[in-house]
Chain A
Amino acid sequence: MQFTKPGLLAGLAFGALVAATPAYAQVTLKVWSIDGVDRTGIADTFSKEFDEANDDIVVEYRAIPFDEIVNETLRAFATGNAPDIVSFDNPDFALFSSRGAMLDITDRVANSPIISKAEYFEGPLNSVTWEGKLYGLPKYTDTIGLFYNKDLFAKAGITEPPSTWAELAEDAAKLTDPANNVYGVTFSARAGEEGTFQFLPIIQMSGGGANKVNTEGAAQVLDIWKGLIDNGYASRDVLSLGQWDSTGVFNSGNAAMAISGPWEIDRMVEDAKFDWGVALLPTINEDDQKSSALGGFNWGIMANTQHPDEAFRLLEYFVEQEDRIFPEFGNLPARGDIELPVTGEAKKDAALVVFQDQLQYAQPRGPHPEWQKISKAIYDAEQQALTGQMPAMDALNQAQATIDTIFKQ
């Protein structure tokens, strides 16, 4: 393209004029999220659309890496520079909502023609609720289930995936094949949120929760898991592998089962050279209440926004577009009223059905403003038990003591 100099100058002048005198008063909304840091996602795409569709509203979008978004928002909030809308990982949400940093949108949602609270799954909704009030909306959700290698199961003569942890241990023993470098099962018990993510459901299905972790059932499962590791049915490196790497072991055929989530499906379709399926996360006893971890992000409007009405309009726009998030971004909506389109990839479609089912049992981590401290107490206890540094119950009791001090505050 060639500009003539006068033409360029005129263009510049015109641009300056436009910038200086908007046609009418404009509202600027700031939106922060992790989308767009390494690939485009929900928040950056929809923000841009809304910005272009509405002349009266300018949306300034900022992508912030996962590790920094909470700290960045904390700092911004403390100095009065907080965004209008922000998206947090669901366990981080209570840190803000419990301290009045998020706008109470209970009434707005109730009056909204677009948003229907009843359609949301219970777990995700809990994570944006604090003391009965609604401070945000789920953005998308995910959970974990049990992937299993159908070929290896057939070879070992096992017809059904396990439904209890004890069964899983039995199956793992049969499936383990050191000569071929095959472990029975793999999971992530890493020292971090991923470790808690996979272990908290056990606590929950044993009747416990974030405030009560030292349950008999949880200790029992820890002993089973420790047995898996000690017997070589699971690699000792589950203590340092993240979920992505752990599932990689499954994909390469070196583990017959893996605990992981729907975000793995596309890679598995690509990498796994065997027939595989997904089952619901095993329970402790046959007819125990099912549970699963709740992953996924939430939306929230920050309490000190100058433009709550416009911000809520943007939120409504996000919700309106939710039928697009699976086809376009592969994220699962946190609502029961959106049908997932069939992809035609049989294993994937079958897996999604199971995960949709599993989502009904997904329970949030917390919600609690000091969730991360609770989480550390939980994964520390898990690791102490699995490495044999402490008997499972002792480790859970120690975690409980820490958690008690957090809840007592």
Chain B
Amino acid sequence: MSRYFSGLRDGIGFDIILVGAALLFLLALAGAPLVYNVLMSFQQVDMFTLGSLFRPAVGFDNYVAVVQQPEFWLVTRNTLIFVFGSMTGQFVLGFALALFFAQNFPGASTIRGLFLVSWVMPGLVVGGIWSLILAGDYGVLNVILRSFGIIGSNVFWKSDPNFSIWAVIIANIWLGLAFNMLLLSVGLAAIPRDLYEAAELDGANAFQRFWTITLPMMRSTIGAVLSLGLIGTLQQFDLFPALTEGGPANTSNVAGYWSWQLSFQLYDFAKGATVSVMMFLLVLFASVIYVRSTRHEVRG
């Protein structure tokens, strides 16, 4: 029996089974809905054909129609700002907090644990809370900024087209902060202390230690955090209905929310699917870059 298994494990057959199983899994889990979405983006969909797989094909009509929507470029721009702003904020602040709590002052781990609270809170609740915080007239944020003299008059975060996307970004940064910090904390904790000591004896100051030890040692963690951050940000939905509904006039609308709006508010399922396929291509593009950047990675 064990001979049989070891023969299997050594043989090339076992590899094929492993790869095959993984692919099958991927196809069933991720592939099926994806294929369905791609299919739908090339079809004409209405309420009578909603339940069927094969519908009148329309070629690239849906894509053309989506691009011709007056809000298309605005939504594209907002999506890029949203993704870039959210990820940068989440990552930089998350890293700063992770480094801060890595100092192991008394109570550090307890306080760090408290950050989990933001993570377990449902997005809609977080959105509701931030909606109050960001309110123009009585919002806490304005009160704070005014008391520090940073702003002279109230900023209408949710209603001013210059700020509306940033209102969602701020809330999203807060929402993703704990996740980023915890993942990065784990990465930091995995770096042996003695590396820092060796570097310190070798003459590295704190900044040099960060650049030459921490960052390169965290490479795979950072890669994971950023990819998950990208996906999480593109998937972010709950904050939009709670904060701005993509308004005013689409100035805070992003691809994910727009896709939902098209499908489930305007009942234009084909266009909704088309936008989600476009988003998928964006993620694919980002993952290719990520994979390429880590291909030469070496770990100790």
Contact = CB atoms under 8 A, between A and B. Distances in A.
Please say whether chains A and B are actual partners in one complex.
yes
Interface of A: 67, 70-71, 74-75, 77-80, 95-96, 99, 101, 181, 189-192, 195, 235-240, 249, 254, 370, 372-373, 376, 379-381, 383-384, 386-387, 389, 395, 398, 402
B158 A79 contact: no
Interface magnitude class on chain B: 20 to 34
Contacts of B46: 99
Contacts of B243: 240
A198 to B, nearest CB: 14
B47 A383 contact: no
A383 B251 CA distance: 10
A192 B159 CA distance: 13
A239 B250 CA distance: 12
Contacts of B137: 181, 235, 237, 249, 254
Nearest to B137: A235
Given A240-B244, A372-B265, A376-B266, A99 B159 contact: no
Contacts of A237: 135-137, 156, 158-159
Contacts, number: 106
Interface of chain A: mostly helix, strand, loop or mixed: helix
Given A235-B156, A240-B247, 16 more contacts: A74-B267, A75-B51, A95-B267, A96-B47, A99-B46, A181-B137, A191-B246, A191-B250, A195-B247, A235-B136, A237-B137, A237-B158, A239-B156, A240-B158, A240-B244, A383-B249
Contacts of A376: 261, 265-266
Contacts of B47: 74, 77-78, 95-96, 99, 101
B52 A191 contact: no
A181 B243 CA distance: 23
A185 to B, nearest CB: 14
Contacts of B131: 240
B89 interface: no
Q: Which of B47, B52, B246 is most buried by chain A, counting CB atoms within 10 A of its CB?
A: B47
A239 B52 contact: no
B71 interface: yes
Nearest to A77: B47
A383 B247 contact: yes
Contacts of A192: 245, 247
13 contacts: A70-B267, A99-B47, A191-B244, A191-B247, A191-B248, A236-B160, A249-B137, A254-B137, A376-B261, A380-B249, A381-B249, A383-B249, A387-B248
Contact of B250 (A75, A77, A236, A380): A380
B14 interface: no
A380 B248 CA distance: 7
Contacts of B266: 370, 372-373, 376
Interface of B: 46-52, 70-71, 131, 135-137, 156, 158-161, 164, 243-251, 261, 264-268
B124 to A, nearest CB: 11
Nearest to B269: A74
Contacts of A395: 249
Q: Which of A78, A181, A195 is most buried by chain B, counting CB atoms within 10 A of its CB?
A: A78
B238 to A, nearest CB: 12
A106 to B, nearest CB: 22
Nearest to A195: B247
List of 8 A-B pairs having minimum Cβ-Cβ separation, nearest first: A191-B247, A78-B51, A78-B50, A239-B159, A383-B249, A240-B158, A236-B156, A383-B248
Contacts of B251: 387, 389
Contacts of B160: 236, 387
Contacts of B249: 191, 380-381, 383-384, 387, 389, 395
A79 B247 contact: no
A231 to B, nearest CB: 13
A75 to B, nearest CB: 6
B50 A389 contact: no
A148 B248 CA distance: 26
A78 to B, nearest CB: 3
Nearest to B69: A402
A381 B245 CA distance: 15
Contacts of B268: 373
Contacts of B70: 398, 402
A265 B211 CA distance: 63
B71 A380 contact: yes
Contacts of A75: 50-51
A79 B264 contact: no
Contacts of A384: 248-249
B93 to A, nearest CB: 25
Q: Which of A101, A190, A387 is most buried by chain B, counting CB atoms within 10 A of its CB?
A: A387
B273 to A, nearest CB: 14
Contact of A239 (B48, B247, B265, B267): B247
A251 to B, nearest CB: 14
A205 to B, nearest CB: 23
A387 B252 CA distance: 13
A381 B249 CA distance: 7
A75 B45 CA distance: 12
Nearest to B51: A78
B248 A78 contact: no
Contacts of A238: 159
A18 to B, nearest CB: 35
Nearest to B245: A191
A320 to B, nearest CB: 31
Contacts of A195: 247
Contacts of B264: 67, 71
Q: Which of B71, B243, B249, B251 is most buried by chain A, counting CB atoms within 10 A of its CB?
A: B249
Nearest to B136: A237
Contacts of B52: 78
A71 B136 CA distance: 34
A176 B9 CA distance: 80
Contacts of A239: 156, 158-159, 247-248
Given A78-B48, A181-B137, A240 B248 contact: yes
